[in-house]
Amino acid sequence: MIIGGSASQKLSAKVAWDLGENLSPIETRRFPDGERYIRIKGEVPKEVVVIQSTGYPQDENLMELFLLLKNLKSLGVERTRVVIPYFGYGRQERRFKSGEAVSAVIVAELLEAAGASEIYSINLHEKNIKEFFNIPVHEISAMPMIANYINTQVDDPMIIGPDKGALGFAEEISGILKCDCDYLEKTRISPEKVEMKPKNLDVKGRDVVIIDDIISTGGTIVSASRILNDLGANKVLVGCVHPILVEDALLKIFAAGVDDVFATDTLKSDVSTISVAPLVAGYLKKFE
Ligand code: R5P
pLDDT over threshold 90, residue 110: yes
pLDDT over threshold 80, residue 198: no
* Ligand 1 lined by 218 (C-beta under 6 Å): yes
Under a CB-based contact definition with an 8 Å cutoff, are residues 242 and 213 in contact?
Answer: yes
DSSP bridge pairs for 186 = 196
Residue 101 confidence (pLDDT): 97
pLDDT per position as a tens digit, 126-158? 999 999 999 999 999 999 999 999 999 999 999
d(CA 214, CA 256): 18
pLDDT over threshold 90, residue 200: no
* Ligand 1 lined by 217 (C-beta under 6 Å): yes
Q: 110: CA distance to ligand 1 center in Å?
A: 26
Nearest atom within ligand 1 for CA of residue 194: 14
* Ligand 1 lined by 220 (C-beta under 6 Å): yes
pLDDT over threshold 80, residue 214: yes
191 pLDDT band, cuts 50/70/90, is confident
Residue 199 confidence (pLDDT): 85
Residue tagged active-site, from 178, 186, 199, 252:
186
pTM of the model: 0.96
d(CA 161, CA 171): 9
Cβ partners under 8 Å of residue 168, min gap 6: 161
Residue 197 confidence (pLDDT): 82
* Burial of 115 (C-beta count, 10 Å sphere; 0-12/13-18/19+): buried
54-75 mean pLDDT = 98
Q: 191: CA distance to ligand 1 center in Å?
A: 9
d(CA 220, CA 19): 37
232-245 mean pLDDT = 98
d(CA 136, CA 286): 14
Residue 116 confidence (pLDDT): 98
DSSP bridge pairs for 36 = 30
Report CA-CA distances (Å) from 282 to 8, 16, 138: 17, 11, 12
Peptide bond into 162 cis (omega under 30): no
Q: Determine the distance from the C-alpha atom of residue 33 to the mean position of all C-alpha atoms in its chain, rounded to a whole number.
A: 31
Residue 192 confidence (pLDDT): 86
Residue 186 designated active-site: yes
Q: 160: CA distance to ligand 1 center in Å?
A: 14
Scanning the chain, the segments in alpha helix (DSSP H) are 9-19, 58-74, 103-114, 143-153, 167-177, 219-230, 249-255, 277-286
Q: 70: CA distance to ligand 1 center in Å?
A: 33
Residue 25 confidence (pLDDT): 87
Nearest atom within ligand 1 for CA of residue 163: 6
CA-nearest residue for atom 9, ligand 1, is 215
* Ligand 1 lined by 166 (C-beta under 6 Å): yes
User: What are phi and psi for residue 110, nearest 5 degrees?
Assistant: -65, -40
pLDDT over threshold 90, residue 90: yes
pLDDT per position as a tens digit, 19-62? 999 999 899 999 999 999 999 998 999 999 999 999 999 999 99
d(CA 57, CA 46): 30
